[in-house]
Amino acid sequence: MCPEPLRIALISEHASPLATVGSVDAGGQNIYVANVARCLAGAGHQVDVFTRRDDPQLPSTVDVRSGLRVLHIDAGPAAFVPKEELLPHMPSFTGSARRLVQHSARYDVVHANFFMSGLVGMRLKELFGLPLVMTFHALGLVRREHQKAADAFPPARIAIEKRIVRRADRVIAECPQDEADLVRLYGAHPRAISTVPCGVDLTEFSPGSKAAARRALGLSDDEFVVLQLGRLVPRKGIDNVIRSMALLPPEMRVRLLVVGGESRDPDDRKTPEIARLRGVADECGVTDRVTFTGQRRRDELANYYAAADVFVTTPWYEPFGITPLEAMACGTPVVGSAVGGIQHSVADGVTGYLVPPKDPQALAERLVHLHANPALAQALGRAGIRRVRSLFTWERVARELAEVYAAVAPKNVEPARAARVLSLVRRSALPAGQAQVHA
């Protein structure tokens, strides 16, 4: 245990670190909160994650590991509620969080994730004088630009986000595009923003044997395997990937694996997006080239990355995107759309390629190029491993966040302790991939 660590309240109202990733409302934010909390606790800090109870069987407190607890907050029904419908339950969430904070040892900082958590964080800041660090994960005005009428969040979201930008002690941007959007659309002052990316767990994702992975998954050695993995929602642009299959040469033996959904079996009723995508494949005449696997556990995903010749992700809107990092950590080249954080994480021509969204022809051309140049694909994969290990580990992300916390926390602690805290977070730095990891 490090001396005098920070006490951190991580608020994530809809994205629990304990949720099964890959379902409709469980994705990158869940991974972010889980790994940031784990690495902060591993560095000696005390971390409590406040999240909404969505199952009556969940205990009030889950001790995940030394220094890390998940606190389930009663707010609305103890059942799944789409995040677009959660705002009316935030007063109840705020009241429960207030009572927990009031009767606990004092926190040094509150780190809110998503705008509804920011609403809670602002109230805790007002009541208890706690510094507020904010990560939006997605911005309402950016979402509106891309989603337009499909954006189902209430209009109040925009005013809430603007208020948070004004009141937060620090706003975390996840990539340069995120920082630019905060300044352009919300009037954020650049000095109030710290850019800290998402990361990848190198104990989960690392290079493996392609042949062994294909044997484990029952895949043929002579097929060119294209992998699409993640949440199955329209904005992910999976239909774009399917349409690109129809533009590949007919003699090219190719298999598109679509991993994700609400159940382990690719059930069209449980995951309506699968039904829509099957229709796209049928319309394009590529049903025989597309395989829907259903949802897979986190511990199974590395095999899929290792088995693939290329990982493809072409959303038309993506705040950051963690799956490209996972693919690169496994040594798989990435073809991604030049949007959001993907254009930051994927180095075009170095670790893979960037293509325009909604452009199946551009995607198909890159797939044909990689198929014809396997040595190049391997070189891109090796460069991806180096890039992830140097820039995108969760240990590095947590260290950079802890430095932000220490910078805003001194107003609430005596100067001598503040200096010790800053020394603690700097001493916790370890080379990428070498930090101690606890289950």
Residue pair 308/257 in contact (Cβ under 8 Å)? The answer is yes
pLDDT tens profile 365-411: 999 999 999 999 999 999 999 999 999 999 999 999 999 999 999 65
Distance of CA 87 to the CA centre of its chain: 21
Contacts 24+ apart (CB under 8 A), 280-285: 280/239, 280/242, 280/243, 281/242, 281/245, 284/242, 284/243, 284/245, 284/246, 285/246
Q: What is the pLDDT of residue 21?
A: 52
The domains of the chain, with CATH numbers, are 7-199+393-427 (3.40.50.2000), 210-391 (3.40.50.2000)
Rounded percentage of the chain residues whose pLDDT exceeds 90 = 85
Question: Out of 8-12, 67-71, 332-336, 418-422, which region has the weakest mean confidence (pLDDT)?
Answer: 418-422
Decide if pLDDT at 249 tops 80.
yes
Q: What is the pTM of this model?
A: 0.86
Dist CA 353 CA 356 (whole Å) = 10
- Can you point out the beta strands (E) in 122-229? 132-135, 170-173, 193-195, 224-229
Range of weakest confidence among 13-22, 307-316, 327-336, 397-406: 13-22
Distance CA 355, CA 342 (A): 10
Q: At what angle do helices 272-284 and 238-245 cross, to 10 degrees?
A: 20
The answer to whether residues 71 and 49 touch, using CB atoms and an 8 Å cutoff, is yes
* Region of residue 114 (phi > 0: left; psi between -120 and 50: alpha; otherwise: beta): left
pLDDT at 27 over 90: no
Whether 412 shows a pLDDT value over 50: the answer reads: no
Digit-coded pLDDT (tens) for 203-212: 999 999 999 9
> What are 256-298's pLDDT values in tens digits?
999 999 899 999 999 999 999 999 999 999 999 999 999 999 9
183: its two tokens: 């300044």
d(C-alpha 163, C-alpha 341), whole Å: 24
Of 144-153, 219-228, 392-401, 425-434, minimum mean pLDDT range: 425-434
User: Is the confidence at residue 431, as pLDDT, over 50?
Assistant: no
**pLDDT digits over 109-151, tens only?**
999 999 999 999 999 999 999 999 999 999 999 988 887 777 7
Average pLDDT over residues 298-308: 96
Task: Please provide the average confidence, as pLDDT, over all residues in the chain.
Answer: 91
pLDDT above 50 (res 85): yes
What's the pLDDT at 20? Answer: 59
- pLDDT reading at 438 higher than 60: no
Q: Is 60 exceeded by the pLDDT of residue 423? A: no
Span 345-364, mean pLDDT? 98
> 259-270, pLDDT tens digit by residue?
999 899 999 999
Name the residue with tokens 């899929």: 304
Q: Based on the number of CB atoms within 10 Å of its own CB, is 218 exposed (0-12), middle (13-18) or buried (19 or more)?
A: exposed
